[in-house]
Amino acid sequence: MQVTLPNRAYLADIERFTRLMVVDGTDDLRFVLPDGLFSVHPLVLCMIGALGDWASDQGAEVSVHWEDLNSSIRYLERMKLFEVMDLPTGIPVREHDPSGRFIPVTRIRDNAELNKFVVDFVPLLHARPEEADSVKYVLFELVRNVLEHASSAHGALAAAQVTKSGRLLVGVADSGIGVRASMGRSHPVTSDQDAIEKAFRPGITGTTRHYGGNETNGGAGLFFMKAMATMSRHHMVMATGDSLMKLLTQPRGHQARIHARLQEDRVKWVNLAVPYPGTAVGIDISIDETIAFSRLLADIREVYHLNVKKSKIEKYRPRFR
Amino acid sequence: MKVKRYAGSFAGDKDAAARIREDHLLPALTRGKRAVLDFEGVDLATQSFIHALIASVIREHPEWLGSIDFVNCNESVQSLIEIVAEYAQDQFD
């Protein structure tokens, strides 16, 4: 397989990247960097890292190729992509460059590493408290999903970046069994797209056949992620097997709406010519002061109540004091 | 019951939530006593944590929700508790 990095690929145009994943007649993974400068979403880096894990598991050789060293390639080094792929480059970088509001590609294998990751790395974003809450929440929940459901021997790869405009870009990827196999443990699944649709539907979890989940899984984690992207009017992407789901942005001038089913959302489906082994999730959210995390949750609760909740009869309510 | 003692200031660990549920919440409620979940010092919790903490209790005994006092919750934690308490009583189609 050959994976060529495009000059630009973010969630809005993630197809620029997936189109450049091609079968080249060998089992090896050739990672080819473009001429000139490039800029990509952290999800792309995590996907490439996870592809490297998968290729290594197949006994294949993993290699990276470029013509001229430039600042974009140095950026990949600073993001530790080559390190997680076990591809030592010898590229010198300034490890303490203060301008970086990013979390490098990091491998997380268990809950202890996840807790440490959130504590150690989120401060690297130099985020304000209300920003840090969103970062912690999204990173923790996405990685926890991988550790619980992906059966990945290599754990999860996670990375994040904050743009100058205050947008948080998060990517998490693994080389595990994929959503179809995970969801198929408890539910009939007909395709990778069907598996993604079920994974996002509140009340469905791969850990139990029962709607509403069990005592440890509510089947609401990805629904919450989707709600956060929806309310902040940004994109979310999930790729697994031959399907890629892209949640499109909500139109301006209208109240953002959260739905229980992906079929009701503004979604674009992409058929991947080269199936992605494992699962990859990317999400963008606004983290400026206008959308504090607590406000985001209050909005989700309101919209959930209006649009998702099936039983409108209020029964018992929690007591706060 | 101080949630922070088990979960820290960022309450995301579902295993910690399950320990609180099994060691403190359920024993108190089963004996017909009130249970206090004190979130002082907890800056942030995840939906998964709150689910593991209270969802099964509410689903099996919705009336027990009235016997739990949620104390010192910030806005985010309170919103998550309200959401989980709501969907734990939902009928999913």
A66, part of any domain: no
Whether A130 contacts chain B with CB within 8 A: no
In this prediction, residues A297-308 reach a mean pLDDT of 69
Average pLDDT estimate for A225-236: 88
ipTM of the complex: 0.89
Highest mean pLDDT among A105-109, A167-171, A315-319: A105-109
pLDDT tens-digit profile of A64-97?
A: 999 999 999 999 999 999 999 999 998 887 765 5
Instruction: State yes or no: pLDDT of A309 exceeds 50.
Output: yes
The token duo for A32 is 């080819």
Tell me whether residue A225 is in a domain.
Answer: yes
pLDDT exceeds cutoff 80 at A99: no
Number of domains, chain A: 1
**Which residues, including other chains, have CB under 8 Å from residue B25's CB and lie 6 or more apart?**
B1, B35, B37, B53, B54, B57, B68
Q: Is residue A271 part of a domain?
A: yes
Judge whether A303 lies within some domain: yes
CA angle at residue A281 from A19 to A39, to 5 degrees? 55
Question: pLDDT of A255-286, one tens digit each?
Answer: 788 888 899 999 999 999 999 999 999 999 87
Asked whether residue A67 is domain-assigned, the answer is no
Residue A29 lies inside a defined structural domain of this protein: no
Residue A274: domain span: 97-308
Write out residues 32-71 of B within 8 Å (CB-CB) of A: 43-44, 46-48, 51-52, 55-56, 58-59, 62-63, 65-66, 68-71
CA angle at residue A125 from A122 to A129, to 5 degrees?
A: 70
Does A224 fall in a domain?
yes
User: pLDDT tens digit string along A143-202?
Assistant: 999 999 999 999 999 999 988 887 889 999 999 999 999 999 999 999 999 999 999 998
Residue A287: what pLDDT?
62
Tell me the CATH number at A155. Answer: 3.30.565.10
Of A133, A141, A320, the CB nearest to B76: A133
What is the pLDDT, as a whole number, of residue B5? 96
Provide the Cα torsion A240, A243, A244, A245; round to 10°.
Answer: -110
